[in-house]
Structure 1
Amino acid sequence: MTDPEIFDRAARRLRRDRAAPGWPGHDFLRRLMLEGIADRLATVRREFRDVLDLGCADAAFGLPGAEITRIDAGTAFAHAANGIQADEDRVALSPASFDLIVSAGVLDQVNDLPGALTLARRALRPDGLFLAAFVGNTSLPTLRAALRAADPAVQRAHPQVDVRAAGDLMVRAGFALPVADVEGVPVRYGDLFGLIADLRGMAATNVLRDRRPLRRDTLAALAAAFQASADPDGRVPERFELVFLTGWAPDDSQPKPARRGSATASLTQALQKRL
């Protein structure tokens, strides 16, 4: 028996298709993710020839000299990028076909995240690199608090992955040398509707399978609860958390952790010498 899916796949595709025309006006989080991925990639001294852009959006990721395959859950993004329309946890990827996979801004809306990570790891050649970023679980604390105040009986915010769980999932998927880290992005909004416009523009609104539309009275209560957190200048501080993942497909050339019990010096003796 399989677990019920959290996200509505058809609604997610529709959200991405609707966001595509106005994407450049709301893509600031993905641009920051790509900058972070580029910074991490710059520390790796090797060439990557066969690259997969998983969740390509507007195909803003580029790498000179590489052949890039692009995949997106949205039909509009996939077609505009001459790519493939597919969900990240259902895409058919040939084993050992890429030496680099990047993914920015999509893994937080995948039903089977462990499955998507496992598919990516299997699609990498030995010693291939995986770099990803997505919105983490401490994002939008002001909006989440306002949602609880305005409509406590209904789940409207997506469940999200924290950085520790993300690292554990990388290990479960079979990645070697996994690293998970976090960067915060502070933002400020004049009102709730400015934030909603950004979330719609980046295809990040509610795609839960059991979502319910907001009634007018609930929306009014939500807007008031959100505005109650405004600074003296009338703007509401908010925050996004970006989780970055780095991992390698296993290879014999990679450094291995020391075998337990193989140390030749005693920690106790070393500490005693310092006292």
Structure 2
Amino acid sequence: YAYLRDEVANRLVERLDDIHESYRFAEVIDLGCGTGHVRRALSTLGNSRGIERLREFDMSEAMLERSRADLAVSPPVHGPEGDDFAVEHILADEEELGLEKESVDLIISCMGLHWVNDLPGTIRMIRRALKPNGLFLCAFLGGETLAEMRSSFVLADLERRGGVSQHMSPLVSVADAGALLQASGLALPTVDTEIISIGYPDAWTLWHHLRAMGESNANLHRSTASLDNMLAAAATFREVYGDGEGNVPATFQVIYLIGWAPHESQQRPLARGSAQLSLKDLGLPDDGAGRIKLDDDVTDLGTMLGGKPKDEDAK
């Protein structure tokens, strides 16, 4: 049942290909390693990033044991000098890692941070642990995940109970994710999102897979859905979202975050008022106060620069 997390790990690690090859990450942490999804994805790069030590953190001893077992039968991943990079397994809560300040080159988290209670505090802790110009690379489930299942339960609850219960854990929106990066002090923040759609024979199979993945409802005060409600939700799911052949879709919104620990070599915006060009240098008329002056028949800057007027596009 690791197919989703393995796929996201591969897509997350692929983002290292977008970073200049001169960057090297000797000390790497996989935060919430599970069974070693990120390690397996990193092996496909042939360690082109000069990893010397990978520390796999997880709060579950059972997951660490499975990662150790997987490592024992996995092909070696060679380090920068041809040797295998060291892999360590550490039992720790994501919110209490105890990492030394400026000690890590790269921290990766794949499908783990949406379970953290104090997400802002955890990202600040990650920022503190990164060396200057160190990289934080993260993927977690966003608020649009399983929208079909959510709406099916709402309709079933309203029909059978006359009210709505929360059947899913709260998840972060894309806008909130960007705000978290900026508030943590990480530089050059980047947020993007993908939708992964997976088909299942029925809602019951989906729920079974979610539980096996460890992605079921984690609310402390969650209410247990009755069999009657489950049957109603499954029927609604099939009727509203089914493809007519008995299959139902499940969409997973994956939010990717990239942030860098500040460093003097990073580009910064120029100070306000330091521009060396004016509108006159561009050959555009201004109103004397530095603002573009538009003709009466021009409604936008695109038209002045040679584009079609909006009313022509409408025609």
- TM-score category of the 2 structures, normalised to the smaller one: 0.7 to 0.9
- Could you tell me which of 132, 148, 172 is aligned with 2:138? 132
Find the structure with the greater CA-based Rg. Answer: 2
1:223 corresponds to which residue? 234
1:103 corresponds to which residue? 109
Runs (5+) with no aligned partner, structure 2: 68-87, 158-162, 286-304, 307-315
Deviation of the 1:266 alpha carbon: 3.1
* Structure 2 residue identity aligned to 1:67: R
Q: Distance in 2 between matches of 1:271 and 1:154?
A: 61
Deviation of the 1:159 alpha carbon: 1.4
TM-score with structure 2 setting the length: 0.75
Q: Distance in 2 between matches of 1:268 and 1:143?
A: 57
Deviations 1:66-114, CA, capped at 9 Å, x for gaps: 3011111222113444522222122211111110000000111110110
Q: Distance in 2 between matches of 1:211 and 1:272?
A: 61
1:10 corresponds to which residue? none
* Structure 1 residue identity aligned to 2:12: I
2:14 corresponds to which residue? 39
Q: Distance in 2 between matches of 1:187 and 1:196?
A: 13
Say yes or no: does 1:255 pair with 2:261.
no
1:57 corresponds to which residue? 34
1:13 corresponds to which residue? none
* Structure 1 residue identity aligned to 2:18: T
Q: Distance in 1 between matches of 2:256 and 2:139?
A: 4
Deviation of the 1:153 alpha carbon: 2.5
Say yes or no: does 1:67 pair with 2:73.
no
1:182 corresponds to which residue? 193
2:95 corresponds to which residue? 89
Q: Distance in 1 between matches of 2:280 and 2:216?
A: 54
Runs (5+) with no aligned partner, structure 1: 1-25
Q: Distance in 2 between matches of 1:267 and 1:210?
A: 60
Deviations 1:161-185, CA, capped at 9 Å, x for gaps: 1112111100111100010000111
Q: Distance in 2 between matches of 1:267 and 1:37?
A: 42
RMSD: 1.8
Relative contact order, higher structure (CA 8 A, sep 6+): 1
- Could you tell me which of 140, 158, 166 is aligned with 1:155? 166
Deviation of the 1:269 alpha carbon: 6.5
Contact 1:180 / 1:246 at 8 angstroms: preserved in 2? yes
Contact 2:30 / 2:56 at 8 angstroms: preserved in 1? yes
With 258-267 and 172-181 compared, the bigger mean Cα shift is at 258-267
Quick one: percent identity of the two aligned structures? Answer: 36
SS at match of 1:142: helix
TM-score with structure 1 setting the length: 0.85
* Structure 2 residue identity aligned to 1:66: E
1:17 corresponds to which residue? none
SS at match of 1:35: helix
Deviation of the 1:231 alpha carbon: 1.4
Q: After TM superposition, list the pairs within 5 Å mapping 1:202-241 onto structure 2.
A: 202-228=213-239, 229-241=241-253
Contact 1:79 / 1:85 at 8 angstroms: preserved in 2? no
Q: Distance in 1 between matches of 2:24 and 2:63?
A: 27
With 172-181 and 56-65 compared, the bigger mean Cα shift is at 56-65
Q: Distance in 1 between matches of 2:280 and 2:98?
A: 52
SS at match of 1:272: coil
2:176 corresponds to which residue? 165
Contact 2:38 / 2:110 at 8 angstroms: preserved in 1? no
Deviations 1:1-27, CA, capped at 9 Å, x for gaps: xxxxxxxxxxxxxxxxxxxxxxxxx22
Contact 2:27 / 2:53 at 8 angstroms: preserved in 1? yes
Deviation of the 1:267 alpha carbon: 4.9
Deviations 1:204-253, CA, capped at 9 Å, x for gaps: 00111111222111111121111112112221122111100001011111
Contact 1:118 / 1:174 at 8 angstroms: preserved in 2? yes
* Structure 2 residue identity aligned to 1:261: G
SS at match of 1:246: strand
